[in-house]
Structure 1
Amino acid sequence: MKIKQYRTQFIKELSPFYDAYEAESFFYLILEDRHQLRQIDLALNHELNFSESDFVVWNSLLGQLKKEVPIQYLLGKTSFYGLDFEVNENVLIPRPETEELVEWIINENSIADKTKKLRILDIGTGSGCIAISLAKNLPNAEVFGIDVSKKAIETAKRNAINNNVDVTFVFLDILEADVLTCNFDIIVSNPPYVRNLEKEEIKKNVLDYEPHLALFVDDNDALIFYRKIAALAKSNLLENGQLFFEINQYLGKEMKDLLETMDFKNIELKKDIYDNDRMMKGSI
């Protein structure tokens, strides 16, 4: 069968699960990943064919997509802030909103004295996307990442190597930490913040396949990670140090109140591209 014909069939079979644009984007992502062919290549050569072995692979991927397995997990990779990252079932798939958080940190610190060494800690690093992107774009930074999942740490270490940056990753349960071993100029975290009551808003591809350990918190203590991390930041941020968070869009006021109660200064709540309260910064 010609690839162009299979494309039509592929999109049609996914139509009960995804809109046509998303289904088509999946087709071209797989086409480029598996065959190094782009959309323009198919447009210029309508006679390109799949082999029988190709069909086996494609039909397997199609079946997984019908179960709403994330395309990033099927390909084993995704793009974040212009870099390629390995992703798997042990780590969250990086989101565009988190890219905005990284952009904010870079913009706040890229004009600083380039001779000054920055020390940055990413708490709940997952795939390492925040830590690695900061290390890549702030060459004067010494970057650390910690996570409670050993498998996530292993993934983050591979991503650092693949992106040619030096990041120190450490296994640690932040909720059990009484103190951090050194001081930092910047502490950043995108911790679990989705309450169980919000599960109905979560898409099946996230709810069924991404690690719940990195997503959900108890409804009765939704700020547990923020409170703990802010307390550690009070002790371990250097003078004029910055604390950055990605937050639950529904808890912007509660987060601002928390940092104010803990005497953080220059508190700023920032919206994401979807006009949701998504990021927060404070300093000591």
Structure 2
Amino acid sequence: MKIKEYRTQFIDTLTPIYDAGEAESFFYLILEEKKQLKRIDLALHPDLAFSEEEIAVWNSILEQLLQEIPIQYLLGKTSFYGLDFEVNENVLIPRQETEELVDWILESQKSKVESRKVKILDIGTGSGCIAISLAKNIPNAQVFAIDVSEKALATAQKNAQINTVNVTFINQNILETEDLQQQFDIIVSNPPYVRNLEKEEIKKNVLDNEPHLALFVEDNDALIFYKKIAELARKNLSENGQLYFEINQYLGKEMVELLEKMNFSTIELRKDIYGNDRMMKADLSV
């Protein structure tokens, strides 16, 4: 079968679940991964065809997409902040909003003296996307990353190798941690923050496939991770250290109040590209 013909069939099959543009983007992502062909190649060579074996592979992927398994898990990889990351069912798929958080941290470092060592801790690292992106883009950064999941850390370690950066990974339950044992200039976290009451807002492909351990918190204690991390930051941030969070869009006011009560200063709440309260920065008052 000609690839162009299969493309039409592929998109038509998916459009009851996905919009046509998204279905088409899936087709070209898979085409590049499985056959090393780009859109332009298909335009220049309209007679290119799939073998029967290739069609069998594509039909298997198509069936999984119909079950709303994320394309990133099917391909085993994704892109974040211009870098390649391996992803699987043990880690969340990195989001564009989290790229904005990384960008904010990097922006804050531009005015710093480049020769100065910067010690960074990423709490709940998952795929390692935040820690690795910071290690890649901040000269002289010494980066540490914590996660409770050994499987997530194994994936993060692979991603550090893929992107040729040195990150110290630590298997640790942050809720059971009383002291981080050293001082950091920056502590950043994108912890679980989706309340169970918000599950109905979560797309099926996320709810059925991404690790709930990294997503959900109890309705009656939605800020449990933020409280704990802020307490640790009070002890383990260096003078003029900075604390960064990705947050639940519905709890921006509560987050500001939490950090104010804990005597953080210069608290700033930022919206993401979609106009939702999504990230925070606070300085350690001394």
**TM over 0.5: same fold?**
yes
Partner in structure 1 of residue 123 of structure 2: 123
Amino acid at match of 1:13: T
Identity of aligned residues (%): 72
Once the two structures are superposed, residues 216-270 of structure 1 have per-residue CA deviations (whole angstroms, 9 ceiling, x without a partner) of: 0000000000000000000000000000000000000000000000000100000
Structure 1 residue 107: deviation in Å?
0.4
Partner of residue 47, structure 1? 47
Q: Trace 1:39-118 onto structure 2 (pairs within 5 A).
A: 39-118=39-118
- Is 1:150 equivalent to 2:150 in the alignment? yes
For 2:11, the equivalent position in structure 1 comes to: 11
- 2:210 corresponds to which residue? 210
Q: CA deviation at 1:110?
A: 2.5
Instruction: State the partner residue of 1:184.
Output: 184
Amino acid aligned to 2:45: N
Within 1, Cα distance between the matches of 2:17 and 2:150?
33
The separation in 2 between residues aligned to 1:14 and 1:155, in whole angstroms, is 30
Write the distance in 2 (CA, Å) between the matches of 1:15 and 1:140: 48
Equivalent pairs, count: 284
Is the Cα contact below 8 Å between 1:72 and 1:78 reproduced in 2? yes
State the one-letter code of the partner of 2:73: Y
CA distance in 2, matches of 1:32, 1:238: 46
**Alpha-carbon separation, structure 2, partners of 1:105 and 1:137:** 10
Supply the distance in 2 between the matched residues of 1:55 and 1:71 (Cα, whole angstroms). Answer: 17
Q: Is the CA contact (8 Å cut-off) linking 1:120 and 1:184 kept in structure 2? A: yes
TM-score normalized by the length of structure 1: 1.00
SS in 1 for 2:42: helix
Question: 2:110 and 2:230 mapped to 1: Cα distance?
Answer: 24
Q: Tell me which residue corresponds to 2:30.
A: 30
Q: Which amino acid aligns with 2:13?
A: E
Q: Structure 2: any 5+ residue segments left out of the alignment?
A: none
Q: Secondary structure at the match of 2:250?
A: helix
Q: Name the counterpart of 2:161.
A: 161
Deviation, 1:115, is 1.2
**Unaligned stretches of 5+ residues in structure 1:** none
Deviations 1:136-160 (A, max 9, x none): 0002210000000000000000000
2:281 and 2:191 mapped to 1: Cα distance?
Answer: 14
RMSD of equivalent CA atoms = 0.4
Q: Which runs of 4+ in 1 moved over 6 A?
A: none
Q: Distance in 1 between matches of 2:166 and 2:188?
A: 17
Structure 2 distance, partners of 1:44, 1:147, is 47
- Say yes or no: does 1:173 pair with 2:168: no
Matched residue SS, 2:64: helix
Aligned residues of 1:246 and 1:280 also touching (Cα < 8 A)? yes
CA offsets per residue over residues 67-107 of structure 1, 9 Å max, x none? 00000000000000000000000000000000000000000
Per-residue CA deviation, residues 86-135 of structure 1 (Å, 9 max, x unaligned), is: 00000000000000000000000122011110000000000000000000
Taking structure 2 as the reference length, what is the TM-score of the superposition?
A: 0.99
1:106 touches 1:137 (CA, 8 Å); kept in 2? yes
Per-residue deviation at 1:175? 0.2
Which amino acid in the other structure matches residue 4 of structure 1? K
Match of 2:144, SS?
strand
Give 1:64's aligned amino acid: Q
Amino acid at match of 1:186: I
